[in-house]
Structure 1
Amino acid sequence: MKATKKSMLLLLALIFTMSLVLAACGGNNQSTSGSTNSNSGSDSSNASDNGGDAAADLDFVELTFTYPGTKQKDHDRIMEEINSYLKEKINASIDIQPIEWGQWDQKVNLMIASREPMDIYFTAAWSNYSVNVSKGAFLALDDLLANTEAGQSIVNSLDPAFLEGSKINGKNYGIPTNKELASGGGVVYRSDIAEELGLDFSNVKTIHDLGPILEQVKQAKPEMIPLFALPGDFVNAHFLANWDFLGDNNIPGVIRKDRDDTTVKPRFEYPEYMENLRTARKYFLAGYINADATTTTLSSQDALKNGNVFMTVQPLKPGKDAELASATGLIGKLQQLELTERTIATSETAGSMLAISSTSANPERALMFINLLHSDKYLNNLLNFGLENEHYTRNGEIISPTEKQGDYAPGAAWMFGSQFLNYVWDSEDPQKWEQFREFNNAGHPSPALGFTFNSEPVKTEVAAVVNIRQEYDDALETGSVDPEEIVPQYIAKLKAAGLDKIIEEKQRQFDEFLANK
């Protein structure tokens, strides 16, 4: 029976990825129309459900949207172009407000707690999705998806696996990005420096094997940070440790994505949890990790862009190194190295979403904007890459950077709508989307694929343990404190706050899910 279920999951994954490729091909061969934007010369999709005469029937509204990222030098210039275009398409403007990665969780928590007016939030399984749903921060979108043109367009463009896999208690509170389904973990490093120093990666199979490499970099390049770490994206990140948090990475209770065991346990009951923390501590004490790892507000992308970082931990997919190289001005100087088995899990179906805030005064128009990011090739690429002939030049679907490309390089295409509308940089493989299909086919399906924990029955305990995790996780997982001393204190606090009750409720819901598959 288990083998049959696993085979079915693999078959579903194959069907899913084939549909993505077909959707990508369709999106890349849409008929084009001349844009009213005199600076672009780019195509705009005729597939948009909300444009032309329809916009004239709508009252003008102003929308707001926030996501984790660095405000670009040409942000305001691009916003002018976006809003000129949106006025024509949906009679709206939008104020896009990036928040630095290191401040994201704290600022969003304050915004939600104070009921600050906002229309669209970026959210994800690793970014308090379930926690914020339990707080009433996001609207349930099922009626909008079913009963509006924009909603139906989104539903038709996404494989059902995305919308099914990101539901909480049977409802959708976020619109997933149309992107890769499988996931792998590893590192991206400066290949030019590795070549200069003659570094040998042949014996590096896990993050625990990186010590000799990092030591050579430290000795030869004392001005560089051998391994840049930041809270949440290091040794115990879900993509590197292969944790399946069953819907929200901030709520305790996991299984392993790369195994078949369905027993929900706290991470500390797995021996690899402490092994990872010990490695982080070892690297920190050796000076391989940035001293401000627990407090830095830089993203790993921005750290690479600064030019003084040799290596970062990354969730990997085909061409991740080339994407980062284009975003950081390091074209031809980055290479990726996989250190985990590839997996397929709900953390990927819910790994990048746009949610409509429960404080939004215009949820239908917000959904229209999200739909444009899924259907309008011109708007999608304008938001992601800036202006044609200013930030890039284009030859069909292939784009090349100009001298001004660094003035607008948010590196956030995986957050916005459909990646299959994206142009491909000339430094990337032109067969990038075909490689995505092959990547997805090689993934090991998690036993929990399609399951998302509903934290409502234990929301009081969840709120308490999330606060405790914020107190301990960053310091432990970046190696800034001794795990032998701190982890026992951490466990005691988690248990006192109701950890066992959360695990019990997660297991109950998960068992029910498995029984009904």
Structure 2
Amino acid sequence: MLKKSNLRGKNLALLLALVLTFSVVLSACGGKNNEGSGASSPSASASSKPSESASASPSETASSSPSASSGDIDPSKLPEYKLKIVWEGPPQKDEEAVEAKINEYLKGKINATVDLAPIDWGQWDQKMNLMIASRQDMDVVFTAQWNGHANNVSKGAYLALNDPKGPQGNLLEQYGKDIIATLDKAFLEGAKINGFNYGIPTNKELASQAGVIYRKDIADELGITDQLDKVQTVADLEPILQIVKEKKPNITPLFFAKGENFNAHYFAQHDFLGDAYLDGLLRKDLDDSKVISRFEDKGYMDQLQLTRKFFKEGLINKDAAVTQLGTQDAMKKGNVFMVTSQLKPGKDAEFGNATGLAGKLKQINIGPRTVSTGETAGAMLAVSSTSKDPARAMMFINLMHSDKYLNNLVNFGIEGVHYEKISENRIKPGPKAADYNPGVAWELGNQFLNPTFETEAEDKWDQFKIFNEGAHPSPALGFTFNVEPVKSLAAVLVNIRSQYADAVESGSVDPSKADEWYAKEKANGLDKVLAEKQKQLDAFLAFKK
């Protein structure tokens, strides 16, 4: 059996890949979950059957590596197709101008154009659920383990991308060769559900750490920077936020957005084994493999009490349970002192560039670095089962992982307009940076293709590698729960969560409401879901020995 000590101080990505090979073999023994799979030919568009289950010119810019898949594609033999690209993030003023530039380039690659369709953070869950339920046409869709991925897979929302028996065969193998060549196997193996990939993970950091990002310029003005440098726990923030409230009454001391609070999975150290919207977890920072409910975790319940205290003291925005703003948009408004965040090296600089506050933000790491299968599936691009040309969608995702020009055009806009080059791999904001700055490069393809801003460390990507080393592994590292056996119960439990989570976890209501939430889950099959999660996990762990 692989021991925890063997994972520390080494290349975690390589060792994670080793652990995950056991998961692949085990999944292969368990059957399929791909009734909704479908792909259209690159030479002709075809409708997918709905599941019954659930400024350099383009000509001067070369791809970052030779692309076996894109290089073999003759765009003149493909009918023109418009790809609808949906991701979670704020819509941008210059979206149409960037679309035009993308289209100019993409036609010569895969004879496609794009309709960029970002959905703001606070509206994502509701809108995406409606789009999936109504079978709206989409092509490339952002998804993640922490925002309902496994449950949406059970609904047939996304295609299995590596199914050789799919209508058009293995899409990843046919049109994603650059992904296979460049993406660490740990990501692809860790993101599988029942042996199949329903999303292609972003090439980024593997480990995870909780913390906060704050306005250092305001902290310096108030003389509280030294106090902030000593913060080690959430409780340590209380007196600091009280000072901000007293001395800066027009500033929100701490802003919570939907799912971004002290009880988010990354703060609570919860490994939900496949979908953070479905109860049943292990703690990533411990070594116990017993699957429990969130309500059985004393650390989580204690944090609810502390969060409620902060809320009653006026340290948190009053609309925390219902706000449609994301933390990025809130910070951009200039009247917020601190937000919670899942951290990585340089997240404060990255956040500063996205909010127009470059050089004014600083992060505080709170809690241990951990890694679970959830991190491998923490940001992915899926192909919708409603896509009329899944092959073209897969080609686009492959380019986002291999084509530096396209990736940076989507993420940062037009050179000389939205950003300016300082050197080959260093940039600074351009004259219209505020009009196109999505700030979601971690969602879209391959971060290692991205330049660094002048306010970021030049060795940012090397820091990512160091960050991964020594992270505490979840006891379930390599395991992803297959929701299919309990998908009807899971759908009900996810709906119940949506009725309580935002209010309870933001401190907006008394923590006693958690008891009501728990009771309702228990009455609607929670124990059966926990038992199924435990059964599958036990089988996985036994196979590993």
Which TM-score bucket, shorter chain as reference?
A: over 0.9
Cα pair distance change 1:16/1:65, threshold 3 Å: farther
Alpha-carbon distance in 2 for matches of 1:89, 1:17 = 34
The one of 484, 488, 492 aligned to 1:460? 488
Q: CA contact under 8 A between 1:61 and 1:93: conserved in structure 2? A: yes
Alignment partner of 1:476 is 2:491 = no
Alpha-carbon distance in 2 for matches of 1:393, 1:35 = 11
Q: CA contact under 8 A between 2:16 and 2:186: conserved in structure 1? A: no
Kindly report which structure 2 residues correspond to 1:114-133, keeping only aligned pairs within 5 A, or say none: 114-133=134-153
> Which residue in 1 is equivalent to 2:195?
170
> Which residue in 2 is equivalent to 1:380?
407
Q: CA contact under 8 A between 2:161 and 2:172: conserved in structure 1? A: no
The one of 329, 340, 353 aligned to 1:326? 353
> Which residue in 1 is equivalent to 2:380?
353
> Which residue in 1 is equivalent to 2:32?
none
Cα pair distance change 1:52/1:141, threshold 3 Å: closer
- Of all paired residues, the percent bearing the same amino acid is 53
- Please give the secondary structure, in 2, of the residue aligned with 1:469: helix
Alignment partner of 1:498 is 2:525 = yes
Unaligned runs of 5+ in 1: 19-33
The one of 264, 268, 293 aligned to 1:237? 264
The one of 410, 413, 419 aligned to 2:438? 410
**TM-score of the two chains, using structure 1 as the length reference:** 0.93
**TM-score of the two chains, using structure 2 as the length reference:** 0.88
Cα pair distance change 1:145/1:306, threshold 3 Å: farther
Q: Which stretch of the first structure deviates more once superposed, 180-189 or 277-286?
A: 277-286
The one of 123, 132, 156 aligned to 1:112? 132
> Which residue in 2 is equivalent to 1:13?
12
Q: Which stretch of the first structure deviates more once superposed, 356-365 or 394-403?
A: 394-403
Aligned residue-pair number: 498
> Which residue in 1 is equivalent to 2:25?
none
Alpha-carbon distance in 2 for matches of 1:471, 1:17 = 36
Q: CA contact under 8 A between 1:229 and 1:290: conserved in structure 2? A: yes
Deviation at 1:155, TM superposition (A): 1.4
Deviation at 1:149, TM superposition (A): 4.0
- Please give the secondary structure, in 1, of the residue aligned with 2:208: strand
Q: What does the per-residue CA deviation read over 1:395-452, in whole Å, with 9 as the maximum and x for residues that have no partner?
A: 1100011231111110010001100000100100000011001100131111111111
Counterpart code for 1:111: M
> Which residue in 1 is equivalent to 2:122?
102
Counterpart code for 2:14: I
Q: CA contact under 8 A between 1:462 and 1:502: conserved in structure 2? A: yes
Cα pair distance change 1:364/1:183, threshold 3 Å: same
Alignment partner of 1:401 is 2:454 = no
Q: What does the per-residue CA deviation read over 1:342-370, in whole Å, with 9 as the maximum and x for residues that have no partner?
A: 01111110000011111111000000000
Counterpart code for 1:162: F
Counterpart code for 1:166: A
Alignment partner of 1:261 is 2:288 = yes
Cα pair distance change 1:17/1:459, threshold 3 Å: closer
Alpha-carbon distance in 1 for matches of 2:338, 2:175 = 42
Alpha-carbon distance in 1 for matches of 2:203, 2:218 = 35
> Which residue in 1 is equivalent to 2:52?
none
Deviation at 1:505, TM superposition (A): 0.3
Deviation at 1:272, TM superposition (A): 1.1
Kindly report which structure 2 residues correspond to 1:156-167, keeping only aligned pairs within 5 A, or say none: 156-167=181-192
Deviation at 1:148, TM superposition (A): 4.4
Alpha-carbon distance in 2 for matches of 1:99, 1:147 = 26
Q: CA contact under 8 A between 1:17 and 1:437: conserved in structure 2? A: no
> Which residue in 1 is equivalent to 2:161?
141
Q: What does the per-residue CA deviation read over 1:323-360, in whole Å, with 9 as the maximum and x for residues that have no partner?
A: 00111111111000000100111111000001111111
> Which residue in 1 is equivalent to 2:306?
279
Counterpart code for 1:439: F
> Which residue in 2 is equivalent to 1:192?
217
Kindly report which structure 2 residues correspond to 1:62-73, keeping only aligned pairs within 5 A, or say none: 62-73=82-93
Counterpart code for 1:185: A
> Which residue in 2 is equivalent to 1:336?
363
> Which residue in 1 is equivalent to 2:113?
93
> Which residue in 2 is equivalent to 1:367?
394
Alignment partner of 1:211 is 2:224 = no
Alpha-carbon distance in 2 for matches of 1:220, 1:236 = 27
Alpha-carbon distance in 2 for matches of 1:400, 1:16 = 37
Alignment partner of 1:439 is 2:459 = no
Deviation at 1:170, TM superposition (A): 1.1
Alpha-carbon distance in 2 for matches of 1:16, 1:256 = 20
Moved over 3 A (4+): 8-12, 14-18, 34-38, 41-46, 143-149
Alpha-carbon RMSD: 1.9
Deviation at 1:12, TM superposition (A): 5.6
Alignment partner of 1:289 is 2:288 = no
The one of 299, 306, 311 aligned to 2:338? 311
Alpha-carbon distance in 1 for matches of 2:171, 2:86 = 25
Cα pair distance change 1:257/1:272, threshold 3 Å: same
Q: CA contact under 8 A between 1:225 and 1:288: conserved in structure 2? A: yes
Alpha-carbon distance in 2 for matches of 1:108, 1:234 = 22
- Please give the secondary structure, in 2, of the residue aligned with 1:337: strand
Counterpart code for 1:207: V
Alpha-carbon distance in 2 for matches of 1:390, 1:230 = 31
